[in-house]
Structure 1
Amino acid sequence: MEWTGERIIPKLLKPTNGMLLEHLARYYFATPYVRGRVLDIACGSGYGCHMIAKDRKRELTELVGVDNDAEALAYANREYNHQKVTYRQADALDPKLPEELGVFDAILSFETLEHVADDQLFMDNLYRLLKPGGTLVVSTPFGRGRGMPTSEPFHVHQLTPEEFHELCGRFDRVEMFYQRGPTFEREPRTGVRYFIGIAVCTKA
């Protein structure tokens, strides 16, 4: 199994794996915001879609998991099939994506921004994909900033906290959280380094 980019495959990892715990925590964090028609963009192996569908089966009408990797989607269909989940192959930067997928009550996008060359276009797509009154839950690792090199081989760049917050500025309400391991805090504590930011953005 050789997929491009970074992929979390829970069945191949120990339950105590730190990266796995961080990724699972983000999906658990997002569950209260899930309702109606939901999009998980860059869904990877599909474990998160399955988690959300099981946890929010009463609130959820449909969950669309999108990824650009056909092999990852084949794995998702095989290992994480659910009657309310549909997996589709698409490019997150495709300007036609909103016309092809329609609009959603909630959108989840975890650890995607650092992989796309044009984060502004990506956020434009997410804004257009979100219904008025809808909620976007988006996360990204912090780093040296847009256009700066990173030690992660699959990352185009890693935004600063200020750049991440600015990128979410078009939304009517933004709540920023800081992730450290599997835990989240509203306000960064002095002397603590936070590697991941997660924003909950509401569109009026």
Structure 2
Amino acid sequence: MVIQMLEWTGERIIPKQLKPTNGMLLEHIARYYFATPYIKGRVLDIACGTGYGSHMVAKERKRELTELIAVDNDDDTIYYANREYNHQKIIYQKEDALDPDLPEKLGMFDTILSFETIEHVADDQRFMDNLYQMLKPGGMLILSSPFGRGRGMPTSEPFHVHQLTPAEFEELFVRFRETEIYYQRGVTFEKPRDGVRYFIGVAVCTK
């Protein structure tokens, strides 16, 4: 019953229900592998979904991280993550990414992961404010989002509020001390090349 509900809520990957060669699954896993070298200290995975990615980086970086807080806004998803991807260093909990009190509730982090989340929220600036407040000075944010027609414009994806343009995506990170933008193509991450169309941006930011 929980798994059926997860399918209905949309865009939450359930690896155990998908073929290993499923393209969307591979893309999601690739983002967590890409982020793995940056994982250290106290970590936040915001909109963690079913928890497979949080579990993966916790196992890979168990010596480098002290605690991983994995949050999602759906009760059934958190229940599933706790059941299927439990780990001694992970705490799964239900939270709203736009809650103005979120920084006070969760505290400060050395590393924040936010994959395929910002396109789901109506107020992307509030979302970014929360992330910035929760990141320690010198901490790192790794954030990804699909590109589209732009803020406030309709999208063909039923669960997306909007999809930012590449320029709007880069503007999200102007207050960070350093930002590197990569582009995801399948399971690879690269700097832009002439003649290649990219659908997903990935920012690595230092506060």
Determine the structure 2 residue equivalent to 1:2.
5
Letter in 2 for 1:39: L
Q: Give the structure 1 partner of residue 194 of structure 2.
A: 190
Q: Give the root-mean-square deviation of aligned CA atoms.
A: 0.6
Deviation sequence 1:145-199 (CA, Å, 0-9, x none): 000000000000000000000011111100000000000002x111211110000
Q: Aligned partner of 2:205: which letter?
A: C
The amino acid that maps onto 1:32 is P
Taking the aligned partners of 2:94 and 2:5, their CA distance within structure 1 comes to 17
Partner of 1:171: 176
Distance 1:61 1:147 in 2: 39
Is 2:116 aligned against 1:116?
A: no
Equivalent residue number for residue 64 of structure 2: 59
Matched, 1:102 2:107: yes
Question: Which runs of at least 4 in structure 1 moved beyond 3 Å after TM superposition?
Answer: none
SS at the partner of 1:2?
Answer: helix
2:140 counterpart residue number: 135
Aligned length: 202
Q: Quick one: which amino acid aligns to residue 174 of structure 1?
A: T
Q: How far apart are the structure 2 equivalents of 1:118 and 1:5?
A: 20
Partner amino acid, structure 2, of 1:198: V
Query: Following TM superposition, by how much is the alpha carbon of 1:5 offset from its aligned partner in structure 2, in angstroms?
Result: 3.0
Per-residue displacement from partner, 1:34-81 (whole Å, max 9, x unpaired)? 000000000000000100100000001000000000100000000000
The amino acid that maps onto 2:53 is G
Equivalent of residue 23 in structure 1, options 14, 24, 28: 28
Match for 1:80 among 72, 76, 85?
85
Scaled by the length of structure 2, what TM-score is found? 0.97
What SS class does the counterpart of residue 31 from structure 1 fall into? helix
Q: What SS class does the counterpart of residue 86 from structure 1 fall into?
A: strand
2: CA distance, partners of 1:88 / 1:201: 25
For residues 84 and 18 of structure 1, what CA distance do their matches in structure 2 show? 29
Which residue of the other structure, out of 131, 138, 142, is the alignment partner of 1:126? 131
User: CA separation in 2, counterparts of 1:77 and 1:23?
Assistant: 19
Instruction: Give the SS at the match of 2:5.
Output: coil
The unaligned stretches of length 5 or more in structure 1 are none
Residue 34 of structure 2 aligns to a residue whose secondary structure is: helix
Matched residues in 2 for 1:158 and 1:5: separation?
A: 16
User: Normalising by the residue count of structure 1, what TM-score does the alignment of the two structures yield?
Assistant: 0.98
